[in-house]
């Protein structure tokens, strides 16, 4: 097998390389070039230097405020989703009747598309707020809170499944040994379960972080940034800049490049930081 791999590695990696090039590398390089240009269509661009980047950070641009909102939103989502997902996983790995039924139920929301979810939650939340003579667009914060509720509802089930798989993988001998040594269930949780499932925590925090940070469809469907741009996260803001203001396609592109870089940096730091805590089981 080793020999074969050494001989044909190029052929084996080719499909992945092609996929990566088409879906990421080529668009990214084109995008990078366009962020320094003024353009109407992507094949017809004129180089303008750093003008677009300057505009993206200027006072009347919504880019920085929306970035701030997104950071706050991401932190809250990351904590809540992982907390709920982990608690559900702990509950549903106990020996109880109907656990697999509830696992399926909790996983279901994940199968619904973002746009549909956005509209469904818009109806639900507006229906509740209407009793108090308010709507989701009464304040920007309502839209963001609604989005947090939506994301928790949607993502918790998915994270739960990953945590369940990890919890079931823990060697029962370890738990048994701990029990014999007189560890309380809290101590077992903190000192045995959590360190052993650290790889799952890495992957779950990573997934929730990136998913919340680049959230778009749910945001578009739930409030579309209303009122004004007060509930727009950064991805939606970039989209609006790109298409909304005449001649601002390049600025939107510049913001998108910054956005990608931030996302890449966070992902690298986060992977690095959590990986150090992982324990071989």
Partner 1 sequence: MKHCGKKIVAASLAALMVTGTFAGCHKTTNTSSTANGGVSSSGTGTKGQVYYLNFKPEQADQFTSIAKAYTQKTGVKVKVQTAAAGTYEKSLRSEMAKSDAPTIFICNGPVGYKTWGSYCADLSDMKMAKQLTNQSLALKDGSKIVGLPLAVEGYGLIYNQAIMDKYFKLDGAKAKSMDEINNFAKFKDVVEDMTAKKGKLGIKGVFASTSLKSGEDWRWQTHLANIPITYELQDNNTDLTKGVNEIQFKYGNEFKNIFDLYLNNSVTNKKLLGSKSVGDSTSEFALGQAAMVQNGNWVWSDISKTDGNVVKKEDIKFMPIYTGHSGEETQGICMGTENFACINSKASADDQKASIDFLNWLYTGEGTDYVTKSPSDGGLGFIAPYEAFKGKSPDDPLAQEVEKWENKSGIKTVPWDFTCFPSQNFKDYFGSRLLAYAQGQCSWDDVKNGVVSKWKSEAAASATSSKS
Binding site for partner 1 (CB under 8 A): 1, 4, 11-12, 14-16, 18-19, 22-23, 38, 40-44, 48, 51, 55, 60, 122, 126, 130, 133-138, 223-229, 240, 243-251
CB 112 within 8 A of CB 154: yes
Other beta carbons within 10 angstroms of residue 86's beta carbon come to 25
- Nearer to partner 1 among residue 19 and residue 108 (C-beta): 19
Q: Which is nearer to partner 1, 37 or 208 (CB)?
A: 37
Shortest reach from residue 238's CB to partner 1, in Å: 13
Shortest Cβ 1–partner 1 spacing (Å): 7
From 226, 207, 223, 100, select the one nearest 154 (Cα to Cα): 207
- CB neighbours of residue 159 within 10 Å: 26
Cβ 263 to partner 1 shortest distance, Å: 22
Cβ closer to partner 1: 55 or 193?
Answer: 55
Q: HSE, CB side, 13 Å, CA atoms: give it for residue 6.
A: 3
The least CB distance from residue 242 to partner 1, in Å, is: 9
Cβ nearer to partner 1, comparing 8 with 101 = 8
Please choose, from the candidates 239, 243, 244, the residue with its C-alpha nearest in 3D space to the C-alpha of residue 256.
239
Residue 195, classed as helix, strand or coil, is: helix
């Amino acid at each position: 097998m080793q020999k074969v791999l050494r001989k044909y590695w190029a052929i084996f990696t080719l499909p992945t390389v092609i996929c990566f090039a088409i879906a990421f590398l080529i668009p990214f390089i084109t995008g990078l070039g366009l962020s320094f240009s003024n353009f109407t269509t992507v094949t017809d661009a004129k180089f303008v230097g750093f003008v677009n980047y300057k505009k993206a950070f200027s006072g009347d641009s919504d880019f920085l405020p929306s970035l701030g909102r997104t950071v706050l939103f991401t932190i809250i989502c990351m904590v809540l989703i992982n907390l709920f997902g982990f608690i559900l996983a702990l509950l549903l790995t106990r020996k109880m009747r109907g656990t697999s039924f509830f696992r399926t139920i909790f996983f279901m929301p994940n199968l619904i598309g973002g746009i549909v979810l956005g509209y469904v939650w818009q109806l639900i939340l507006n229906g509740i707020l209407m009793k108090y003579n308010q709507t989701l667009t009464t304040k920007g914060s309502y839209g963001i809170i609604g989005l947090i509720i939506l994301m928790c509802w949607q993502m918790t089930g998915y994270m739960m499944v990953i945590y369940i798989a990890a919890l079931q993988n823990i060697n029962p001998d370890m738990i048994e040994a701990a029990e014999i040594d007189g560890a309380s269930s809290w101590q077992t949780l903190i000192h045995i379960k959590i360190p052993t499932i650290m790889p799952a925590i890495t992957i779950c925090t990573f997934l929730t972080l990136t998913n919340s940070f680049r959230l778009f469809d749910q945001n578009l469907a739930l409030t579309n940034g209303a009122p004004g741009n007060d509930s727009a996260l950064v991805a939606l803001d970039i989209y609006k800049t790109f298409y909304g203001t005449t001649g601002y396609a390049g600025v939107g592109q510049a913001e998108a490049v910054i956005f990608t870089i931030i996302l890449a940096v966070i992902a690298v730091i986060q992977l690095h930081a959590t990986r150090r805590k992982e324990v071989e089981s």
